[in-house]
Amino acid sequence: MASAATTSYPIKTVVVLVQENRSFDHMLGWMKSLHPKIDGVTGHESNPLSTTDPSSGRVTFGDGAAYVDPDPGHSIQAIYEQVFGEPWSEESAAKKLAPRMEGFAQNAERIEKGMSKTVMSGFTPESVPVYKELVGEFAVCDRWFASMPASTQPNRLFVHSATSHGATSNDSLKLIEGYPQKTIFESMDEAGFTFGIYYEYPPATLFYRNLRKLKYLKNFHQFDLHFKAHCKEGKLPNYVVVEQRYFDLSILPGNDDHPSHDVSQGQKFVKEVYEALRSSPQWNEILFVITYDEHGGFYDHVPTPVDGVPSPDGIVGPDPYKFQFDRLGVRVPAILISPWIERGTVLHKPTGPHPTSQYEHSSIAATVKKIFNLRSFLTKRDEWAGTFEVVLNRSSPRTDCPVTLSEPARLREAGAKEESKLNDFQQILVQMAAALNGDHKKDIYPDKLVENMTVGEAVKYVKDAHETFCDHCDKAKESGAEGDEIVVLGNRPTRGTTKNFAQKLFSCIICDN
């Protein structure tokens, strides 16, 4: 339940939903046809098939986006080519090229012939009817960027901690202990506010080491069992994170928007979350933020900011890129929802706090700090990032916000591919689960564990692993373990000794003081 602690803003609960791997132009670019103030697409945008061959022809951005399979490139090297127009090399990086956003088609064709048409295409407003209504009824930000030009895991780390702690890709080894940086969750807790994470599969927020502490186990709730009930009962905490289904099953389709998942399932999920919030007695105190972790290789025409972006903490990325965390990623969708927002609001570039400040994922922590008057920033990045409380542009809450949203039509004709191999993010979720249940001690960790695993097998594995971790956490608490301790399974007892249950249990606990 939201804390009774007071703030100077009408917002008492901030709800965050971060979807997967889509650019602004791909998802919302064609909304410009309905709302001219949006910096979207006109149909004149294009990319060359080859940036070095003028005769290669150009691919014009279209409106035929629907079901996407396979997945476009979105590694740090792929994004470099998409933004700067040539493959990454030390020599190229030294040139400090301008971000011309001309390499999307070229990079796509390098992955698969014909993929350029896929990445150079966006959804019509009618294809994403839930977003069409939300953009018209509330606010869209057309200058929100991924925190860094890299894949899912580093950008998701930025969302709640304003840093990836040096990660520039999905790093399975760092998952064993968890990423150590402070998060907005601890900042809220220290100030007497509450937070809750509502998950559908084992939560990706367990990437953070501190959230594995015994004292925070109570903050995790199964979405299907608790989210709507907490909305109805007015029990949502001050900071709410909603996590989606990252795996695609026939009976429970993936709803995170990651290719090759059906975007209509993501639309249904946003609709479900919105309608639960709208029906809550807390509605007049809610700000709901929807964004995407990174662009997923899809085209966007707005140049990526490369000037005046501060490193969060001075950590340099690993070889060979040695990324300095001094430029942002590609622009991604961001929709802001509250009864305190005028219909059809469009949020452009922020006016501060610094001349070069931008909206990016660290803006979430920065805005939460401002709304709840928290003591300190997490890193230099959220200190720099623009805050979006300015979107609350009414003196009183609206009474005409829609109670329900449109039902989206299915975009994928075939069923889920439960026997398919895992995408990069699904692999890292399985590896995180292995760090929770102790399988990280086995020879199969990290690569052999996932190399032949199917989606269907992964779902069972992560569910069982998470339940095992939670069971041991409960037993640790019952045995008197302190709240700041973290259960680590898989520690092997010293040879030649025998232990009773309590000794075995506490050999699996480490103190985090």
Q: Tens of pLDDT along 145-169?
A: 999 999 999 999 999 999 999 999 8
Percent of the chain with pLDDT over 90: 88
**Residues in contact with 83: Cβ distance below 8 Å, sequence separation at least 6, in sequence order:** 99, 100, 101, 103, 149, 303, 304, 330
Rounded-to-integer distance, Cα 291 and Cα 17, Å: 7
Check residue 6 and give its pLDDT.
Answer: 60
| Res. 489: pLDDT tops 60 | yes
Beta bridge partners of 331: 145
Predicted pLDDT at 175: 82
pLDDT at 308: 97
Longest Cα–Cα distance of the chain, Å, equals 75
Which residues lie across from 292 on neighbouring strands? 19
Residue 491 pLDDT: 59
Average pLDDT score over the chain: 93
Rounded to an integer, the average pLDDT of 488-512 is 47
**Residue 463's Cα: distance from chain center in Å?**
20
Whether residue 511 is predicted with pLDDT greater than 70 in this model: the reply is no
DSSP helix, strand, coil percent of the chain (3-state; round to 5): 35, 10, 50
C-alpha to C-alpha distances, 249 to 22, 201, 394, 403, 467, nearest whole angstrom: 21, 12, 42, 29, 20
What is the pLDDT averaged over residues 313-317? Answer: 96
Neighbouring CB atoms inside 10 A of 329's CB total 28
Per-residue pLDDT at 501 exceeds 90:
no
- Ramachandran region, residue 96 (left: φ > 0; alpha: ψ -120 to 50; beta: rest): left
Q: What is the pLDDT of residues 18-72, one digit of tens each?
A: 999 999 999 999 999 999 999 999 999 999 999 999 999 999 999 999 988 878 9
| Residue 427 in this model has a pLDDT that exceeds 80 | yes
Mean of the pLDDT values across residues 324-338?
Answer: 98
Distance between start and end Cα atoms, the chain: 28
* Burial group, residue 9, by CB count within 10 angstroms (0-12, 13-18, 19+): middle
**What is the per-residue pLDDT for 507?**
39
Give the Cα separation of 82 and 78 in Å (integer).
6
pLDDT at 352 over 90: yes
Structure confidence by residue, pLDDT tens digits, 245-294 = 999 999 999 999 999 999 999 999 999 999 999 999 999 999 999 999 99
Q: Report the C-alpha gap between 419 and 123 in whole angstroms.
A: 28
What local confidence, expressed as pLDDT, does residue 412 receive?
Answer: 86
Q: What is the pLDDT of residue 170?
A: 76
Residue 422 has pLDDT above 80, yes or no: yes
Cβ atoms < 10 Å from Cβ of 206 = 22
CA distance 121 to 481: 54
Q: What is the distance between the alpha carbons of residues 334 and 350, in angstroms, rounded to a whole number?
A: 14
Question: What pTM, to 2 d.p., does this model score?
Answer: 0.94
Those residues whose C-beta lies under 8 Å from the C-beta of residue 466, and which sit 6 or more positions away, are 202, 433, 436, 437
Supply the pLDDT for residue 490.
78
The predicted structure's pLDDT at residue 5: 59
Least confident of 83-92, 308-317, 356-365, 488-497: 488-497
Give the DSSP letter of residue 421.
B
